[in-house]
Structure 1
């Protein structure tokens, strides 16, 4: 039985329309594949090979991953950034949340000035911020040394092995408090005014408004900021890499996983194992971020 002409025209029109969307997203997909998917695919490819003295670049399958899972230096670096995450992230997000609530309260004089002042450190490049704080940390040439000389005190050296992780945490907190504050403040600004009016009619205190209205309303923003902070903690590289020249005895080549992968690749010429470390850290970061997201979504329900 022959198809009706109108049916063929409609089917042809639907096929043409189905390609219209792909034409719009094609430029993005091309860039996405080039700068995101291709590097990941190449890193996975490198991680499956090993450059041997005899035989050259040979396929070894999952041998590099087995080596990574039993590498004490890698696990030491992972433990260090895990400790950094557990301590620094709650402190940073807590400060950002308190600042956002203070600015949103309407009782803070000059809130525009405080908002831009707290956000301003985020505009400072990480390299500049680390160098600035690194020289202030100096016990012989920096602010710590000047205070010790002026007051006759003996403040602990922030660049010693015992204090360097806390010093890096201070730098990262200074850099990103304003960024997270802006996320929280933006979420607070979209809370319906009717909720505040109802709370005022009920005679709710300011603390009750925060716990019953504001915090539940910005839970999604809290989850997003936490995920971003977790990813940033596992990717910690700029700060220890720059401070390494100022504190070579405190910051080793395997101080963080990213610094370890960088040292393996550019100093040790172990490109295959470096790619393996990068893939392992990418998977670990993805799993932790996914678990945090699931817990945040479950609480929202």
Structure 2
């Protein structure tokens, strides 16, 4: 023990800073500094990767929303100028019959467009996933291609097809002596717009469902076939329940998109002035208020109220689905 203590006493002075050379200090501090830099780098890496998205998110979403909110709480008149009115514009929007008529139109549009789109997309995805179709890649790309076409171009294409005077359907009907179909009448305009939306987005929905179906383990199909289940029963009892959460998500996105309808009515209005008014949808109404009537403050309030209505309807749908799932 004394010998050990003596050795410790002998080594102890060597640990003092004054007895350690400068290269030894650098050699000891090198690994520590590198570890610290690695730790700092690991902590900063997520923020560096998120920085581009955060900058774009703030610049193109948060900042415009704050600017619109600032507009919505003011009122500009020729006599009094600009003055703060608080929630008056929001209260006015909540009691505006034109706004709620547009919301009702959008709800009818969603009821027509979403079920048909989801059903067709699911059917195509199940057929492509069944393994009985040749050239799957060709069909996937062909069906997805309309989604790559901008909404403006798609509406112009279908506007030409719907044309009451120059459209091919009208020319065909005149050639065979039948009355020309009225795709843009007050009753048929909503299904016609729904058809354009289905043409645009069915392929996109199909790709999502097909990817979800591809993620289902093949062991389930083998087990189902051993139990004597047919392909139809396997798709109905196994595939559809497994991708049901994905279907719910796409329906929610479709509801949000339907309540934001603007391009199609705006571009078709010249062809159907009696069917589509300036307040046909809330977004069209807000656009007219801002750029035709110069009511920028009230237009901003209408946009915020529409966002609130969209959030409430989406949440209500999620709540209904969750309650049925837990039942």
TM-score, with length taken from structure 1: 0.90
Structure 1 pair 274–246 and aligned structure 2 pair: CA distance change class (3 A): same
Any stretches of 5+ residues in structure 2 without a counterpart?
1-31
Deviation (angstroms), 1:124: 1.4
Instruction: Output the CA distance in 1 between the equivalents of 2:320 and 2:133.
Output: 34
Deviation (angstroms), 1:113: 2.5
Deviation (angstroms), 1:296: 4.0
1:81 matched to 2:101: no
- Contact kept in structure 2, 1:77 and 1:257, CA below 8 Å: yes
> Which residue matches 1:267?
292
2:75 aligned counterpart, secondary structure = strand
Structure 1 pair 134–21 and aligned structure 2 pair: CA distance change class (3 A): closer
Map residues 144-223 of structure 1 onto 2, 5 A cutoff. 144-223=169-248
Any stretches of 5+ residues in structure 1 without a counterpart?
1-8
Q: 1:139 aligns with which of 160, 164, 168?
A: 164
1:293 matched to 2:323: no
Deviation (angstroms), 1:66: 1.2
Deviation (angstroms), 1:300: 5.4
- Contact kept in structure 2, 1:144 and 1:157, CA below 8 Å: no
**Offset from partner CA, 1:263-297 (integer Å, 9 cap, x none):** 11111100011101110111111222223334445
> Which residue matches 2:302?
277
Instruction: Output the CA distance in 2 between the equivalents of 1:196 and 1:296.
Output: 27
- Contact kept in structure 2, 1:223 and 1:292, CA below 8 Å: no
TM-score, with length taken from structure 2: 0.84
Paired residues in the alignment total 292
Instruction: Output the CA distance in 1 between the equivalents of 2:257 and 2:53.
Output: 25
More off after superposition, 67-76 vs 27-36: 27-36
Instruction: Output the CA distance in 1 between the equivalents of 2:51 and 2:243.
Output: 35
2:278 aligned counterpart, secondary structure = coil
> Which residue matches 2:4?
none
Deviation (angstroms), 1:149: 0.8
